[in-house]
Amino acid sequence: MNTDVLIVGAGFAGLVMAERLSNVMGLRCLVLDKRAHVGGNAHDAYNEAGVLTHVYGPHYFRSNSSKVVDYLSQFTAWLPTSYEIRSFAEGRYWHFPINLNTFEELIGRPSDEEEFKAYLEHKRVPISKPQNSEEVIVSQVGWELYEKFFKGYTLKQWKKHPRELDASVCGRIPIRTNRDNRYLQETFQALPAAGYHRLFQNMIEASPGVQIMLRTDYRELLPHVKFRHMVYTGPVDEFFDCRFGALPYRSLRFETQSFEADTLASRAAIAGKQGFWQPAMQVNYPNEHDFTRIVEIKHATRQRCENTSIVYEYPDDYGPGKEPYYPVPTAENSRLYAQYAELAAATAGVSFIGRLATYRYYNMDQVVGMALHEFEKIEPALSATQPRALYHATR
């Protein structure tokens, strides 16, 4: 079998590369994925209750990059949304991320920004350059709010103390003194109007040189295919047979429950409207239960359907048969990754991109940006009329 570019992984990283290589350069791309669908972790589908759900946990598209948004807008219209969530602690729902509304819930009376800022100034631990996820939160809000909302959640999610995790992990969560309830900070916040799967299908249908092969591990196919370049978006340690040791990942287990309209009537008072189970698209459970959050994505997709589905998200150890959902951002792991990164940089004819191949806790838009950048980088070499030497697995 011959192709110009062999692409391992049909997630955002692989499909953006395939679309660019096919449409800009007219190359043939063979995209392989182990899974039975395209889209990687951003895959969505209608479940048996007819509810559009995000199969691998909620995927809230957001971006500060007009380049990325403009690129994706060729393949989808957008449904603007502001992604509001709640945190459930001490038997009640709280506004989250922490803002003036949360502060009023804490003190049990109306307040203003000035009073909240004075409270934070009094409570915060002065740390000029936070070195880890505990420091990044206590330096902004102090111990009480850290322990109420962050410590337990982080221990559950990562099975590590926030002190062991890079500051960027909890630092993702904004802390505000106004009443802005949005979970995310980016300027563009919207979902693909017809869902992620439609977006991916549109990309593929617009790319005549792209062939997709699902349920296929690239290692099985490698001896049978010839190609000029490889784009690899799987786990970087696996590519090199874990020769420096396995990189740690965190996995998840999802449990879905669906409800029909009549069984939802009793939830209307809690959800605040008919046809929903909980008051927001996502409710975090920092201190109780084994799950970290319950997601009812219908709040964000605004699907018009009487049924609803909720998804419980349970953190899980990574191992055989599990998906490597999250790289674990610790100092030790980034040292181990640096060894693989050096090897990857020295591997001619292979682009390592995406969340797993670069072992980075990237959002979707960052992965799209990385793929667009990589395409621009390899385009001149691939444009050479003479095909480069075929890549042969050396492992």
CA distances from 190 to 64, 175, 300 (A): 12, 21, 9
The SS3 of residue 205 is helix
**Cβ distance to ligand FAD smaller for residue 135 or 313:** 313
Contacting ligand UDP (CB under 6 A), which of 12, 61, 103, 149? 149
- For 98, other C-beta atoms within 10 Å of its C-beta total 26
**From the CB of 153, what's the least distance to ligand UDP, in Å?**
3
Which residues within the stretch 153-192 sit at the binding site for ligand UDP (CB under 6 A)? Answer: 153-154, 157, 169-170, 172-173
The Cα–Cα gap between 382 and 388 comes to 8
**Position among 53, 76, 87, 181 found at the interface with ligand UDP (CB under 6 A):** 87
Residue pointed to by tokens 């992990």: 169
> Which CB atom, from 102 or from 308, has the smaller least distance to ligand UDP?
102
Structural tokens at position 98: 């922490």
Q: Give the footprint of ligand UDP on residues 277-296 (CB under 6 A).
A: 284, 286
Minimum CB separation of residue 166 from ligand FAD in Å reads 16
Q: Which is nearer to ligand FAD, 365 or 374 (CB)?
A: 365
Which residue lies nearer to ligand FAD by CB, 9 or 192? Answer: 9
- Say which DSSP state 2 is in: B
DSSP 394: -
What secondary structure letter does DSSP report for 84? B
Q: Which of 20, 28, 59, 293 binds ligand FAD (CB under 6 A)?
A: 59
| Helix, coil or strand: residue 66 | helix
With CB under 6 A as the contact rule, which of the stretches 35-43, 170-178, 262-270, 342-350 interacts with ligand FAD? 35-43
Q: Which does 42 bind (CB under 5 to 8 A by kind): ligand FAD, ligand UDP, none?
A: ligand FAD
Dump the DSSP string for 119-180.
HHHHHS---SS--SHHHHHHHHH-HHHHIIIIIHHHHHHHSS-GGGS-HHHHHTS---SSS-
275 binds ligand FAD (CB under 6 A): no
Selected range binding ligand UDP among 23-31, 145-153, 222-230, 296-304, rule: CB under 6 A: 145-153
Q: Is 56 in the site for ligand FAD (CB under 6 A)?
A: yes
Q: How far is the CB of 87 from ligand FAD (least distance, A)?
A: 17
- Name the one range near ligand FAD by CB under 6 A: 132-140, 195-203, 292-300, 349-357: 349-357
Of 27, 203, 364, 378, the one binding ligand FAD by CB under 6 A: 364
217 contacts which partner out of ligand UDP, ligand FAD, none, CB within 5 to 8 A by kind? Answer: ligand FAD
Q: Who contacts 229 (Cβ-Cβ below 8 Å, separation ≥6)?
A: 4, 5, 6, 349, 350, 351, 378, 382, 388, 391
Question: Any bridge partners for residue 188, and if so which?
Answer: 63
Separation between Cα atoms, residue 253 and residue 315, nearest integer Å: 6
Q: Which lies closer to ligand FAD via its Cβ, residue 59 or residue 267?
A: 59
- Cα 10 from Cα 393, distance rounded (Å): 21
Q: Which of 367, 374, 375, 378 binds ligand FAD (CB under 6 A)?
A: 367
Q: Which two structure tokens, joined as six digits, stand for 163?
A: 């002190």
Yes or no: say if 140 and 154 are a contact pair by the CB < 8 Å rule: no
Binding-site partner at residue 154 among ligand FAD, ligand UDP, none, CB < 5 to 8 Å by type = ligand UDP
Pinpoint the alpha helices (H) of 319-386.
331-345, 364-383
Bridge partners (DSSP) of residue 388 are: none
Residue 42 sits in the site that holds ligand FAD (CB under 6 A): yes
Distances from the Cα of 223 to the Cα of 226, 231, 350, angstroms = 8, 16, 16
Q: Which does 173 bind (CB under 5 to 8 A by kind): ligand FAD, ligand UDP, none?
A: ligand UDP
Stretch that binds ligand FAD, among 102-110, 151-159, 302-310, 353-361 (CB under 6 A): 353-361
Residue 279: what residue type?
P
Site for ligand FAD, rule CB under 6 A: 8-14, 32-35, 40-42, 56-61, 217-219, 233-234, 252, 325-326, 354-356, 362-365, 367
Site for ligand UDP, rule CB under 6 A: 87, 96, 149-150, 153-154, 157, 169-170, 172-173, 284, 286
